[in-house]
Amino acid sequence: MPFPDPAALFPMPDAPSVMFIRNIPDLPANVEIGEFTYYDDPLGPDAFLANIRYHFEFRGDRLRIGRYCAIATGATFVMNGGNHRTAGISTFPFPIFEPWRGKWDGEFDFPTRGDTVIGNDVWIGHDALVMPGVTVGDGAIIATRSVVTRDVPPYAIVGGNPAQVIRTRFDEATVERLLAIAWWDWPPERVTEAIELISQADVDALEAIAARR
């Protein structure tokens, strides 16, 4: 096979901390992972699952991560199950405790920001924290220990707490071209053939190849 086995959990025998997280056994149904997206952690698959926080099925939100993402050790995704009400007098979540349940209609109507969506070819740095309902665009980079509280544009580099755009990787016109090429949607055989161009910055050449196929 001319490319890593997309069905393997540990695709690098000499680097057992690297795993294709799509293939983690018993991955929750409310977590969607694209092919070739990897997480690097010496603690193994359980560490990735433990870093998806407050993700309860009854909330209905999903964590969706695209293809070819690189996720460093300790990256954490906080989901909507961690949200508390702030409009009332108390923020305390009384109904999660059975004796205080059933006291009023709407007691489980906690705030939600919807799905958390990580695009394709996203690099998430060590100990970065992604908050609920955030969308991170294709090709973006999240710096180490950033706290991402709002959407990240495609091909933007963000950092800090809260994370702010430091710069964009390409100008707006080039970003539009790259999003149209969408190389991450190609079959892995085609990606393998184009690795040199995908890894460099000659957008014209990559665009020409995309147009021929």
Domains by residue range for the chain, with CATH: 18-169 (2.160.10.10), 170-213 (no CATH)
pLDDT (tens digit, 9 = 90+) per residue, 57-75?
Answer: 888 999 999 999 999 999 9
Which residue ranges in the chain fall short of pLDDT 50?
A: none
Predicted TM-score (pTM) of this structure: 0.94
Q: Which pLDDT score, from 0 to 100, does residue 159 have?
A: 98
pLDDT of residue 58: 83
Q: SS3 breakdown of the chain: % helix, strand, coil, rounded to 5?
A: 25, 20, 55
126 as an active site residue: the answer is no
% pLDDT > 70, the chain: 99
pLDDT at residue number 212 = 76
Model pLDDT, residue 92: 96
Residue of 84, 101, 150, 190 with catalytic role: 84
Quote the pLDDT of residue 137: 98
Q: What angle do CA 204, 184, 60 make, to 5 degrees?
A: 140
Contacts of 154 (CB under 8 A, 6+ apart): 119, 137, 138, 139, 140, 175, 178, 179
